[in-house]
């Protein structure tokens, strides 16, 4: 689908999530300017971190700009995601940046219980020449992966070289992020497509083994299915290495039954609230996530409802129990009908 946009009538090709990718697609001048600003800001952040003895690892867009997009820089990036190796380093870097050009997006995010749960701090720029920053303390923070995610975070960090994620770890990290956000941004699919195409057969085998080991098998299957949606020969080639179970086929049917991104209707909102459930490999972990939703910790409840006063917990706990209970039943019905 083609449209004419902008004062210069630049012809932009709009792809949908279902189309094959053209690596030479046109690119906005404004996007390129933003990309260069992001890269400049990242160098400044690295210097600020180095000044206080903190090492950072680039994630997501800024990482991809320095790897698979390093030759052409044609990947839109709006903010910067970085990884700090421990909470102490994160707090030191937050303090440093807040003395300069930033402020906390959510002041309560530094509460010990919230920080331990969320493992992430968002900083907003006070300067138009600076971009917002997300500081992570874990590659993946989903608590329902409790049996395996600690191992993935530790192993992926150990495999980092020159402060850069190993390629198959990067793919799994990006895949879980895209999957849990319902593949709602086509640039994530392009990232995964281009990165996957750089893998040799032995790397694809390593990817499959890591997905099984760390509990990302459903994530990987749904992502491959989405990336190669309209390239049936490639899709069959990728899935030929798997012996799909009945539950995995049901998950793929469910994921394919929705057009993304989701809208704002009550049903769409309900699906997005429970979307993560379908990507959990093990039944016990799905049950653990449901328990966490029904009976959240104070840190999770604070983050869910943006609670600012401790006394409000007495109101939000029963309210959350009722909302989660009824919505769980409705989601289960929809899942059974659509899969």
For the cut 50, the answer to whether the pLDDT of residue 17 exceeds it is no
CA triple 74-77-83, angle to 5 deg: 125
Per DSSP, what are the bridge partners of residue 80? 133
- Please tell me the distance from the alpha carbon of residue 139 to that of residue 311, in angstroms, as a whole number: 33
pLDDT in tens, 228-287: 876 666 666 777 778 888 999 999 999 888 766 677 777 888 888 889 889 999 888 888
The long-range contacts involving 138-142, CB below 8 angstroms and separated by at least 24 positions, are: 139/59, 139/83, 139/165, 139/169, 139/173, 140/173, 140/176, 142/176, 142/180, 142/276
Mean pLDDT of 286-315: 76
Neighbour count for residue 112 (Cβ, 10 Å): 9
H/E element holding 58? strand 56-59
Compute CA distances 204 → 35, 139, 180, 238, 311, whole Å.
30, 21, 22, 9, 51
Q: What's the pLDDT at 289?
A: 85
- What is the average pLDDT across 111-130? 90
State the Cα–Cα distance between residues 33 and 313, nearest whole angstrom.
45
How confident is the model at residue 308, as a pLDDT? 67
- Note the pLDDT of residue 4: 24
> Which comes out higher in pLDDT, residue 16 or 123?
123
Q: Where are the domains of the chain?
A: 29-137, 154-338
Both tokens assigned to 322? 């009722």
Residue 10's pLDDT is what? 26
Is the pLDDT assigned to residue 319 strictly greater than 90?
no
Nearest to 154 by CA among 168, 167, 137: 137
Which of the following CATH numbers is that of domain 29-137: 3.40.50, 1.10.10, 3.30.460, 3.30.1300? 3.30.460
Specify the pLDDT at position 286. Answer: 87
pLDDT at residue 300 greater than cutoff 80:
no
Across the chain, mean pLDDT equals 83
Kindly tell me if the per-residue pLDDT of 150 is higher than 90.
no
Share of the chain above pLDDT 90, in %: 47
Token pair, residue 335, equals 């899942």
In the predicted structure, residue 59 carries a pLDDT above the cut 90: yes
Residue 295 CB coordination number (10 Å): 13
- Look at residue 1 and tell me whether its pLDDT is greater than 70: no
Helix axes 232-239, 217-227, angle to 10 degrees: 160
Q: Minimum mean pLDDT among 45-59, 235-249, 316-330: which range?
A: 235-249
Give the residue from 2, 28, 31, 29 showing the smallest Cα distance to 15: 2
Residue 144: predicted pLDDT? 65
Q: Give the integer Cα–Cα distance in Å for 168 and 303.
A: 31
**Higher-confidence residue: 154 or 25?**
154
Find, among 58, 72, 83, 67, the residue nearest to 23 by Cα: 72
User: Does residue 199 contact residue 167 with C-beta atoms inside 8 Å?
Assistant: yes
321 pLDDT above the threshold of 60: yes
- 112 pLDDT band (50/70/90 cuts)? confident
In terms of Cα–Cα distance, which of 8, 113, 24, 38 is closest to 74?
24
Residue 113 pLDDT class (50, 70, 90 cuts): confident
pLDDT tens per residue, range 178-237: 998 888 888 999 999 999 999 999 999 999 999 999 999 999 999 998 888 766 666 667
């Amino acid at each position: 689908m083609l449209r004419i946009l902008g004062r210069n009538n630049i012809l932009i090709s709009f792809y949908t999530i279902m189309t094959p990718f053209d690596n030479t697609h046109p690119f906005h001048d404004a996007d390129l300017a933003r990309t260069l600003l992001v890269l400049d800001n990242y160098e400044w952040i690295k210097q600020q971190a180095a000044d206080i003895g903190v090492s950072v690892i680039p994630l997501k867009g800024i990482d991809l700009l320095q790897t698979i997009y390093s030759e052409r820089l044609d990947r839109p990036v709006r903010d910067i995601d970085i990884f700090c190796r421990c909470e102490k380093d994160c707090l030191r870097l937050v303090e440093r940046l807040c003395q300069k050009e930033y402020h906390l997006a959510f002041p309560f995010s530094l509460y010990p219980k919230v920080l331990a749960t969320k493992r992430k701090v968002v900083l907003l720029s006070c300067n138009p020449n600076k971009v917002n920053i997300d500081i992570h303390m874990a590659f993946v923070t989903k608590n329902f992966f409790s049996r395996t995610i600690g191992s993935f975070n530790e192993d992926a960090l150990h495999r980092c070289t020159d402060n850069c994620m190993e390629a198959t770890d990067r793919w799994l990290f990006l895949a879980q992020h895209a999957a849990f956000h319902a593949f709602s941004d086509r640039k994530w699919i392009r990232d995964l497509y281009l990165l996957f195409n750089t893998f040799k057969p032995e790397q694809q085998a390593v990817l499959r083994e890591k997905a099984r080991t760390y509990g990302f098998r459903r994530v990987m299957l749904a992502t491959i299915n989405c990336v190669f949606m309209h390239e049936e020969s490639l899709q069959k080639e990728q899935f030929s290495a798997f012996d799909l179970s009945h539950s995995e086929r049901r998950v793929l049917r469910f994921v394919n039954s929705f057009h993304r991104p989701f809208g704002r209707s009550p049903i769409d909102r309900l699906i997005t609230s429970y979307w993560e459930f379908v990507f959990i490999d093990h039944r016990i972990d799905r049950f653990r996530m449901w328990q966490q939703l029904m009976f959240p910790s104070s840190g999770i409840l604070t983050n869910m409802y943006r609670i600012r006063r401790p006394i409000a917990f007495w109101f939000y706990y029963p309210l959350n129990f009722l909302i989660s209970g009824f919505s769980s039943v409705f989601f289960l019905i929809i899942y059974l009908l659509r899969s």
